Amino acid sequence: MKIKIDKIIALCGSGLLGYYLGLSIFSGIIWRLLRWTLPPMNNRHLPRFYTGIMGAIIVASIGYLIYTRFIERCSIEKCKKQYAIGIVALLLLPIMTMASFRIQAVNYVRNAEATRPTRLNFRFEVPKVGFIISKDHSGSSATLYGKSISIENEETLLEEFGEALQRLELVEVVDPSQYSFEEHKGTMWINYRPEGKWYSKIISWQGDYFVESVENQQQVLYKGPELEAILKDLNRQLKDLNNYVSVEVLHTSLIDENSDPQVERIVVEDFQLLLDSIQKNNKITPDNNVVSSFETILNGNEGITKNDVNYYGFFLTSHPFDTSSFDTTIVLENVILYDDALKIAWFEGEYYGVDLSPIILAILP
C-alpha cells in the first residue's frame, strides 16, 4: 500500500513539474509542435495552456517509467503491463492532446469569425506622411498621417463586412520569401467579441488578393470580390472632400522634440478655403522631379525633417475634433500634402496649383 501511495505522489509531482516546464522552459518547443498540427488559420488567440498539459503528460509518463524501473526495481520481464502502460501513455496521450488542441482551436476560430465584427480599421498603405520627431543612435521616430477607415457601432455595415469576410475563398498557401506579391494596398484590423471575449485578426490587401499570415511563416491568399467591393466603395467616400468636417495641420515648426508633437486646428473659415482650393480647375501636371519628391514622402520612404520647412500636412477627418465622445460610427481619415514654396498640393493622386498661405499665416506664429 505504501508503495502505491509513493508512486501516486511521484506521479503527481512529476506531472506538476512537467506542467511548469511546459509553460516555461519548454513552452516554445511544445507550442511549435502544437501549431504544426493546425491547418492554415488565424493563430493570434489560441489556447496556450496546452503547452502545460503536454509537458505534464510527457514528464509524468517518463516519471512513471523511471519510478517503476529504479524505485520499484521491477524488470521489464516481470512488469510488462506497467511498462506498456507508461510507454503507451508517453506516445498516445500527447497525440490525443494535440488532436484535442487542433479541434478546439479550429472550432474557436470558426465560431469567432462567424460572428459580426465589433470594430474594423483599414489603413491604406499610401499615403504615409511622416514628420520626424526625434533622431538618435537607434534610429528616428515620427508621427504619421495617412488614409484610413474606422467602423464601430455601425451594425449594418459591420454585418456586411462580416459576411464578406466569411465568403473569402482560399486560393493557396504560399511562402512569402518565394512569392512575389503585387501592390500592397492596405491592412485591415478586425475585432470580434465572441461570448464577450476579445478576438482579432489582421488581413492585408495586396494586388488582387487578401493575405493573412498563418503557421510556419506562411501566408494564405484569398479572393474576396464582396470584400473588395465594400472597400472600393468606402475608398470613393474617402476621395470626397465633402465627407470631412475637421482638419489638423502639422508642420516641423510645431514639433517639440522633447514632448509630444503639437497639433494646430484650422478654424471653419480656413477649412472651407482648403476645400475650395482642391478643385478640378486647379489640377496641374508638375515636373518629374517634383512628383518624385512628393512620392518619396507619400510612400513613407523618407520623413519630413526640421529642414523641410516648406512641407505641410493637412489631416482630414469626418469626426469633429471638438467632441469628447466617440459617437460617430464611421470615421474617415485622409491627408493632403502641401509644398508652400512651390504652391503645390497633393490629394488622392492628383496635384493642384494652389496658394494655401492664408491658412498657414493664420495658424503659425
pLDDT digits (tens, 9 = 90+) for 20-56: 999 999 999 999 999 999 998 998 899 999 999 999 9
pTM: 0.85
Model confidence at 251: pLDDT above 90: no
The one-letter code for the residue type at 222 is Y
**pLDDT at residue 217, rounded to an integer:** 80
Q: What percent of the chain has pLDDT over 70?
A: 90
Model confidence at 365: pLDDT above 80: no
| Phi-psi map region of 207: left, alpha, beta (phi>0 left; psi -120 to 50 alpha) | left
Cα separations in angstroms, 32 against 36, 109, 126:
6, 18, 35
Quickly state the pLDDT bin for 189 (edges 50, 70, 90): very high
**pLDDT at residue 28, rounded to an integer:** 94
Model confidence at 328: pLDDT above 80: no
Question: So where are the chain's domains?
Answer: 2-113, 119-132+144-225, 241-363
**pLDDT at residue 1, rounded to an integer:** 47
pLDDT in tens, 129-160: 988 776 654 556 677 889 999 999 899 999 99
- Give the contacts of 202 (CB within 8 A, at least 6 positions apart): 44, 187, 188, 189, 190, 212, 213
pLDDT in tens, 93-125: 999 999 999 999 999 999 999 999 999 999 999
Residue 215 or residue 89, greater confidence: 89
**pLDDT at residue 100, rounded to an integer:** 96
The predicted model gives 257-265 an average pLDDT of 53
Model confidence at 269: pLDDT above 80: no
The predicted model gives 221-234 an average pLDDT of 96
Please provide the DSSP assignment of 133-151 as one string.
EEEETTEEEEEEEEEEEEE
Model confidence at 325: pLDDT above 60: no
Model confidence at 238: pLDDT above 60: yes
Could you tell me if 330 and 272 are in contact, meaning their C-beta atoms sit under 8 angstroms apart?
A: no
Cell numbers found for residue 146: 495617412
